[in-house]
Amino acid sequence: MKYRAAPPNVVLEVGKGVDAMRIYVDNAATSFPKPPAVMEAMVRFATECGVAPGRGSFAEAKESQRIISTCRQRMGALINARDDDWIVFAMNCSEALNLAIRGLLATAPRGSHAICTVMEHNSVLRPYEALASQAGLKFDVVGCDPRTCVVDPDDIRKAIRPRTRLIACAHVSNVTGTIQPVADVAGIAREHDIPMLIDAAQSAGHVPIDVQAIGADFVAFPGHKGLMGPLGTGMLYIRGGMEKLLSTIKEGGTGVQSEIVGQPTDMPQKLEIGSQNVIGIAGLGESLAWLAEKGVASVSRHERQLGDIFFGLARQAQGLNIYCPPGGGARTAVFSVNLPGAKPLELAQMLEAEFGVLTRAGLHCAPLAHRAIGTFPDGACRISFGPFNTQNDARHVANALAELAARKQVRGAA
């Protein structure tokens, strides 16, 4: 492969030795490319430090601890957390979600109840399913408006039972880009004294998040998506005091309080075990600094503009189905598309082979969302823009889809 730094799209040899532009629009899976400082920080850690934090009094161990503390502080500032120690590192958003879900429900009495929505990722659905069989959990899945894919908070209110122990809600759909009214849901949860968990996998870095304004109890984040960090990083925000409700789902060394046999109860040591992924956290810390400098609101405006350009052009293509909130509703720059007569995977392969457009086809680990929009079981081809995409990228992707749709129309007429 051959890469170039700016504009930050990939160029590599494809086909019969012909160089072609590769336009990456799968940022909902993993953001790419990353800010240059991310890789620089990771290389610097690997070559100049490279040791575990809290395992020595020498300078390198202290530097490793500083890297972790700095990243935690930067994340706290980005989401307006009141205490950085209530931001727990995880290996990804799925693990962060499990820390909350299993920590709250695994030891709950049999017959306890939980709520989620049809727009959830399998990282919520599968822990719920597992706990249903392992611990007798009962849960309800709240539907959405099939046209807008927005969940009505009143439907969540109606689903609450006396034994409800958790409400989980995705902030943004990874299928349609729909932004859910999580602050309203959090308010309902608080009224009923029920913990609420927000899956911010598709919102962090794409839209501003203020955990105080939302009233969130738990928010799970991936480092490698909109936060622009490397794979293998994630975080769980916990509102101060809510950690007392969590049982640990993993125990082990922390580098501190080694004299006690039990897991420490202080935060964040209660939920962070073993040696940290400091090389990944070093990169994440720099991506958070990059986001703070650019401003998440600015990134959000840029991506919204790309989405508007793409949607404005693509919706003119006859026969192309686009799944997103209508009328420019509350959404991010994530779209699912289908072309009648072509399987989603076939469409993705044509976009790559003929136009150099890199997308993701399938169910996107969100089967109930695809049921809700009528694309189950094949799913759809997803297009998701990021901060390094350009207006020309948005036009190119839309024009590529329009050309493929026109071909289908001609073949159908023949």
Number of domains the chain contains: 2
Which residues in the chain land under pLDDT 50? 1-19, 413-414
Do 405 and 318 fall within a single domain?
A: yes
What tens digit of pLDDT does each residue of 23-44 get? Answer: 999 999 999 999 999 999 999 9
Stated length of the chain: 414
Minimal CA–CA distance to 93: which of 197, 201, 225, 210?
A: 201
Do 173 and 253 fall within a single domain?
A: yes
What tens digit of pLDDT does each residue of 171-224 get? Answer: 999 999 999 999 999 999 999 999 999 999 999 999 999 999 999 999 999 999
Do 190 and 321 fall within a single domain?
A: no
Spatial contact of 380 and 21, defined as CB atoms under 8 Å apart = no
3-state SS, residue 72: helix
The overall longest dimension of the chain from CA atoms, in Å, is 79
Do 227 and 245 fall within a single domain?
A: yes
Spatial contact of 67 and 288, defined as CB atoms under 8 Å apart = no
Spatial contact of 126 and 305, defined as CB atoms under 8 Å apart = no
pLDDT at 264: 86
**Residue finishing a domain among 252, 271, 293:** 293
Q: Residue 278 corresponds to which tokens in the numbers above? A: 């400091």
- Sign of torsion over alpha carbons 145, 237, 72, 95: negative
Residue 359 sits in a domain of what CATH number?
Answer: 3.90.1150.10
The CA–CA distances, whole Å, from 197 to 61, 296, 303 equal: 34, 22, 26
Do 285 and 348 fall within a single domain?
A: no
3-state SS, residue 164: strand
HSE at residue 354, side-chain half, CA atoms within 13 A, is 13
Spatial contact of 371 and 125, defined as CB atoms under 8 Å apart = no
Going by the DSSP 8-state scheme, the letter that residue 115 receives in this structure is E
Do 189 and 266 fall within a single domain?
A: yes
Q: Give the whole-angstrom CA distance, residue 118 versus residue 175.
A: 11
Do 321 and 336 fall within a single domain?
A: yes
Do 13 and 99 fall within a single domain?
A: no
Do 280 and 369 fall within a single domain?
A: no
Do 204 and 234 fall within a single domain?
A: yes
Minimal CA–CA distance to 404: which of 357, 353, 351?
A: 351
Do 192 and 80 fall within a single domain?
A: yes
Q: Give the whole-angstrom CA distance, residue 282 versus residue 70.
A: 9
Range of the domain at 42: 37-293
The strand order across the sheet containing 113-117 reads 87-90, 234-238, 218-222, 196-199, 164-170, 113-117, 138-142
Cis-peptide, bond into residue 377, ω within 30° of zero: yes
Strands 18-24 and 87-90: unpaired
Spatial contact of 264 and 254, defined as CB atoms under 8 Å apart = yes
**Residue finishing a domain among 293, 311, 344:** 293
Spatial contact of 141 and 368, defined as CB atoms under 8 Å apart = yes
Place of tokens 């420490």: 264
Spatial contact of 332 and 202, defined as CB atoms under 8 Å apart = yes
Q: Residue 312 corresponds to which tokens in the numbers above? A: 């404005």
Residue 102 sits in a domain of what CATH number?
Answer: 3.40.640.10
**Residue finishing a domain among 258, 277, 293:** 293
3-state SS, residue 320: coil
Spatial contact of 28 and 384, defined as CB atoms under 8 Å apart = yes
CA 92 from chain center: how many Å? 9
| Dihedral class, residue 327 (left if φ above 0, else alpha if ψ from -120 to 50, else beta) | left
Minimal CA–CA distance to 111: which of 165, 72, 167, 38?
A: 165
Do 140 and 286 fall within a single domain?
A: yes
What stretch of H or E contains 20?
strand 18-24
